């Protein structure tokens, strides 16, 4: 049953336990597109390369900023 491994390797749960967001030191949660910071106010997403989480703020993907609904002249 030899098969090519995909780039998406499961991350060791033990590793996830010791991982923390370098920015806010919150727990990290694994997701399909990377590792999500569990801190709602932070919400950075860290990429995973070859099964190795890149825990760098510079490499982290910032979540789309939810802009506050600003009441401007326009019919919504």
DSSP conformation class of 62: P
> Minimum distance from CB of 51 to Zn ion (Å)?
21
Q: Choose, by CB under 5 A, the member of 20, 23, 47, 59 that binds Zn ion.
A: 23
Q: Choose, by CB under 5 A, the member of 16, 30, 39, 59 that binds Zn ion.
A: 39
Q: Tokens 């967001």 — which residue? A: 21
Q: Which of 13, 39, 40 is nearest to 26 (CA)?
A: 39
Q: How far is the C-alpha of 28 from the C-alpha of 19, rounded, in Å?
A: 6
Rule CB under 5 A: say whether 27 interacts with Zn ion: no
Interface residues toward Zn ion, by CB under 5 A:
21, 23-24, 26, 37, 39, 42
């Amino acid at each position: 049953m030899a098969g090519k491994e995909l780039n998406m390797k499961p991350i060791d749960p033990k590793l996830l336990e010791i991982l923390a967001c370098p920015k806010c030191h919150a727990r990290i949660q694994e997701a399909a597109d990377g590792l999500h910071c569990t801190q709602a106010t932070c919400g950075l997403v860290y990429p995973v390369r070859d099964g190795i989480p890149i825990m760098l703020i510079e490499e982290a993907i910032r979540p789309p900023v939810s802009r506050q609904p600003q009441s401007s002249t326009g019919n919504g």
